[in-house]
Chains A and B, each alone.
Chain A
Amino acid sequence: MTERFTSRGFFGKRRDAGTDRADRIPPGQYLTDGFPVLSAGPTPQIPLETWEFTIDGLVAEPMRWSWEQFQSLPSRDWTVDISCVTKWTKLDTRWHGVSVDDLLAAVEIDPRAGFLTAQSYGGYTTNLPLTDVVNNQAFVAWQYDGAPLEPPHGGPARLVVPHLYFWKSAKWVRGLRLMEKDQPGFWESLGYHIRGDPWREERYSGD
């Protein structure tokens, strides 16, 4: 297992006594200890009895999990740094959830698929290249800081893609749709960058 993001946190902690935390803050960002809530709409209340997660689009057979089935997937703790395009960065956030690799392993992906759209309860969407969600770079979390993920932060479950701006980490995620072409999502179709790498300050279209 590639522990790329956990490793960043680990090394950060090891060097924490000095000023090395600054090395983990992308350009133009400031550090926060809080966890700001950003939202484009009302917080959906999703009963776990009706919650489901699907992978569809360019796959041989779509896959669907109930909450109970989803909880039985292999899951683990993740400690990652996150950066929001509104300029806050939070270090060493602790999550629990399933790797997107393990979700994608449950379907047969059409070789034409190069991108996906994460779809959320409430209508939010965000687009990602497959290359940004594989190799343990992304996960679907249902716990934050040892407790069930609260709805304002995306509960019951949210996508977390820590190496990209946090608008890519879709709250209230309900599925991934695999696609041949990159299809701009909710913010990407309104001036935000198609990929959103904080280390390159890919904030807006054209950056």
Chain B
Amino acid sequence: MDDPLMLDANAVAGDLAEMFGFDVSGSVHRCTNCGNQGAVATLLAYVHGPGTVLRCCICHEIVMRWVRTPTRIYLDARGAAYMEMGLS
């Protein structure tokens, strides 16, 4: 796959931290589509559209997507079957 729009998910760690309240880039997710488990930071991020889309690095299906408006963030995380987050 050769796509210049694809960035590492670390580039969107700020939005994620705002939504989850802490840095989740090292947290583990499971892809609903293919079952791959890995750190959120391994997801492929498409950030140049009207919103942000994170895709599975194995099957390329959408794991999470969100839109930031001046007053809200709309999050669709149905592509993440679960997430595992460490407590500090």
Contact = CB atoms under 8 A, between A and B. Distances in A.
A190 interface: yes
A190 B6 contact: no
A39 B65 CA distance: 12
Interface of A: 36-43, 85-86, 167, 187, 189-192, 203-205
B32 to A, nearest CB: 14
Interface stretch (B13-21, B35-43, B69-77): B69-77
A40 B65 contact: yes
Interface residues of B, number: 21
Contacts, number: 58
Contacts of B70: 204
B48 A192 contact: no
A167 B48 contact: no
Nearest to B1: A42
A37 B48 contact: yes
B51 A190 contact: yes
Contacts of B66: 190
Interface in B27-50: 46, 48-50
Closest 6 CB pairs of A and B: A191-B74, A191-B67, A204-B69, A40-B53, A38-B49, A190-B67
Contacts of B5: 37-39
B83 to A, nearest CB: 19
Interface centre among B50, B62, B67 (most CB of A within 10 A): B50
Nearest to B65: A190
A42 B5 CA distance: 8
Nearest to B6: A42
B67 A192 contact: yes
Q: Which of the listed residues A38, A41, A192, A204 has the most CB atoms from chain B within 10 Å of its own CB?
A: A41
Interface in B49-88: 49-51, 53, 55, 60, 62, 65-67, 69-70, 72, 74, 76
The CB with the most chain B CB atoms within 10 A, among A85, A191, A192, is that of: A191
A40 B46 contact: yes
Given A37-B5, A42-B6, A190 B48 contact: no
B50 A192 contact: yes
Nearest to B69: A204
A205 B62 CA distance: 22
Given A41-B60, A42-B1, A187 B46 contact: no
A69 B45 CA distance: 37
Nearest to A186: B65
Contact of A39 (B48, B60, B72): B48
A102 B31 CA distance: 42
19 contacts: A36-B48, A38-B48, A38-B50, A39-B5, A39-B48, A40-B46, A41-B62, A43-B3, A85-B50, A86-B49, A86-B50, A167-B50, A187-B67, A190-B67, A191-B51, A191-B72, A192-B67, A204-B67, A204-B70
